[in-house]
Amino acid sequence: MGSPAARACCTALVLVLLSSASEGRPSFRPRSAGGPPRLEYPVEFPLGQPTFDNIQAICINGDHRPRYPDSYFPVSGYGKLKRMASSVNELEYLLNACCGSNHTWGIEVTLCCASMAWKFAINSYCEEDASIKDRQSECCKPRGSDRLNCFHNEAPNPNYTATQELPVPQIPSTETFDFTPTDCPRKIQSPYVPRAQTNVIQSPKKDFNFPPGRPSADNIESLCRDQKLRPLYKVNCLRNSGYELMSHQAKTINRVEKGFKQCCKKKQGVLECADQKWREELSKFCLNKNGEPVDFECCFDNVEDSRYTCFKNLSPDPYYNLTSAAKELSLHNICDTHKIITKKFPVGFPLKSFVNQCCPLSEEERVLCFAQELIAVSKQCWNSPPSLRHCCSMSSHERPQCISKIIVNAITKASSEKKKCPLPYIL
């Protein structure tokens, strides 16, 4: 039957799958004249062309637009609708990859990435459509810009508004789509980023909150209270990687947090001190080491107050409450801390299998992977190191949870003194 941890993980995955399958449900149309009721499987196809007018909605509403898992359709039939649905899933996945690097690339390069992904998806759909003995889509018949204009004009939701009340899960792409900012027109290129495929495009970690929120009467308490929970960042992991802007952002976060630490120790004037430090460091951020303007949207405004308002509005964590939600460490954190654990807080057994097998996976897939690795370690009690003897004296169902506690305890110690790399898989 497996351990409780494994059963819990599998149950969670089943629930995710069931919820994603229910996001889009077929609907009945009224009975046609003399015929049976017709079951429909609506697909919002095609997606509209990304533009400056809709790129923000593309990114903000990404998980509130429909996806179409295999369970949405019957096993047989509906070939054309299935191809349309697959195209939507693929493109939404690519758009999500582009949007994930928005704060690193800037809005222009994000739009460039999204536009190229859209063209790639449209042409891929037409190639597949032409290879199947079926009536070809009318918009696939033209070529070049005429084809793209046709698809855009047919889009049922060109503004990319949210149409799903609850968030829907991404459906991973199997397509290979190459993108680098150097593919964009020269005037909107950001610093060089090495060419990458969309399934390995590296976005900042979820707790990489740049720009930091502006200190205010509403957030100063949580700003000071939870400061030790917020990460600082190392930047040597980004050297020669093409992520110069992210490195610049990380250094700014570190300096802001250092200033906050000094301000929060004061007995009076804490807010004024923190706000001044925030303004100083964000002003410095807008100039690179050569004194030239940084290519970041808020830095284009020459009026200081407007610039500060831009940074304030752009902050992903304006009230400094995201760190409160992340207080509880879990096995996921081993991906950031395994090196310092091995060096300073060894657990008595190798962590390499956890890191190599699980860390490259998505967060959802890691849950089951970690459970499987815990079970594998618990089965090695016949040759257990001293650190595991206590766990090995327990029943087979209790051992994985016991081993998990040993690892999480080491993670907690390592997390308290470790600077993180802003990228998820550069350890």
CB atoms within 10 A of CB 148: 19
Contact 336, 420 (CB under 8 A): yes
- Give the DSSP letter of residue 222: H
pTM of the model: 0.42
pLDDT tens for the 427 residues of the chain, in order: 444 444 433 333 232 323 333 344 444 333 333 333 334 789 999 999 999 889 889 998 999 999 999 889 888 888 889 999 999 999 999 998 888 765 566 777 888 889 999 999 999 999 888 888 777 889 999 988 889 999 999 999 999 999 998 889 888 877 777 777 767 764 443 333 333 333 333 444 555 788 999 999 999 998 998 887 788 888 877 665 557 788 888 899 999 999 999 999 998 999 999 999 999 999 999 988 777 888 888 888 778 888 999 999 888 888 887 764 444 557 777 887 788 788 877 887 778 888 888 888 877 777 788 888 888 888 877 676 777 788 888 888 788 888 888 888 888 777 665 566 776 544 3
What is the spatial distance between Cα 415 and Cα 344, in angstroms, rounded to a whole number? 12
| Residue among 32, 172, 185, 20 nearest 113 (CA) | 185
Nearest to 309 by CA among 62, 21, 301: 301
How far is residue 408's CA from residue 396's CA, in Å, rounded to a whole number? 20
Q: Give the separation between CA 242 and CA 145, rounded to whole angstroms.
A: 32
Going from N- to C-terminal start, the domains of the chain cover 42-187, 219-314, 331-417
3-state secondary structure of 178: strand
Please state, in angstroms and rounded to a whole number, the distance separating the CA atoms of residues 184 and 291.
25
- String of DSSP letters for 149-169: HHHHHH-S-TT-----SS---
287 - beta bridge partners? 293
Q: What's the pLDDT at 86?
A: 93
Residue 119 CA to residue 115 CA, distance in Å, equals 6
Q: Give the pLDDT score at 339.
A: 81
Predicted confidence at residue 34, as pLDDT, reads: 35
Alpha helices in 168-288 (DSSP H): 220-225, 244-264, 270-285
Half-sphere exposure of 326 (CA within 13 A, CB side): 19
d(CA 191, CA 214): 27
- Burial class of residue 244, CB neighbours in 10 A (0-12, 13-18, 19+): buried
The number of residues making up the chain comes to: 427
Helices 363-378 & 4-21, crossing angle to 10 degrees?
Answer: 160
